[in-house]
Structure 1
Amino acid sequence: MQHKAHQPLMPCTSKYLQYRWDKNDFEIHKKKVQSAKATLNTSPPKIYNHILVKRKKKMLEDERLSTIQRDNHMLLDKISHIKKTAGRIDCKNEYVSKRLDTEKRQEALLEIVKNNKRMLQSLSHCEPYYSAQGWNEQWIKTLGLMKSIGRFPPLNYAQPPVDVWPQKTMVFSKGKP
């Protein structure tokens, strides 16, 4: 039934025969296209050694490297000679500089250390302003509220121990210590 819808390029008497001939021609064309071999040469061009190897450049590089090597060797000889001998100049300075107010500075330093110790003792003995236990109770209350108003199952929050809470930080809500 496909031959009825077929539109041949040339006028014909039998649309069915023309359809079969066109179909046969198309199949032959498909086979030829599939078995066709590429005519493009995609191989790289031939490489010539005289273009690839630049002798003048290599010769200049070798000469530069030999000059550097010779200079390095000369410097190494000079350094080893200086290390073996004491050298020409005595540049050892054994003078120890002294300050005139050394004792005064040490006394001031001791005074500062004593003041620091006294301050540390007074700070360690004073009571904290904020209560870590209050924070812990507030957190437990907050977890209870979150559980009661939550739409989904609550997340498992790990409850930190009381002594982990920092002692001197701010609280957002006003509470009694």
Structure 2
Amino acid sequence: MMQHLLYPPLFPAANKSLQHKFDKSAYDLHRMKVKSAKPTIDMTPPRTYNHLSLNVTRKPAMDRALQIQRENDMLRDKLSHIMRTTGGLDNWNYYDKKSLDKERRRSELLRITTENQMILSRLSQVRPNYNVKSWHDDWLRTLRLRDSIARFPRGRENLQKGEEKQDKSNSGCDKKQKMNTDATPARAKVKTESEGNEKKKGTNKQAETSSRSRESDGQRAR
């Protein structure tokens, strides 16, 4: 209470108590200004922006992935519960499948089968319009006419083919005989003579056939 008496004023004053109050208020004002003074160097951290910390474009995809993961977890839990228990819902429907047009389709099938049977019976009862026997007779008649019109007899070619076959068979037999004649020279001489006679006979036959063909050609030319 008596501090104003001990207070030495810096400037001359008539009342030391009042001067003390004035100086104290000025000092408090100064301290308040010092406390509220701003620093010349900004040491505070920089301002954070939401668009840098949170990517808005990726947020829907992340939300969708989280939702899918959550649904998968729920589905897995449900399936595990169903596998462990019989399930809480009986959704089996015991009923026979019925078709609305079953009778119509059955009647249509019966109609088609009856028509097919009728067509089959008609086809089986139909008689042929062409006579195969008459065709065969006509063909034989054409063969006879062709043989009569031909310049050379038609059967001569077949006879010549038969003779050639016989000659081939005879030549095969001759080869076998020649193999045996190496041991018996006497038999070989006899066989060579028989072969010569057969060749002469073959040449005579050919001459006869050629003469006959010439005679037939001359008669036709007349």
TM-score, normalised on structure 1?
0.31
Indicate the structure (1 or 2) with the bigger Cα radius of gyration. Answer: 2
Greater share of helix residues, 1 or 2? 2
Higher relative contact order (CA 8 A, sep 6+): 1
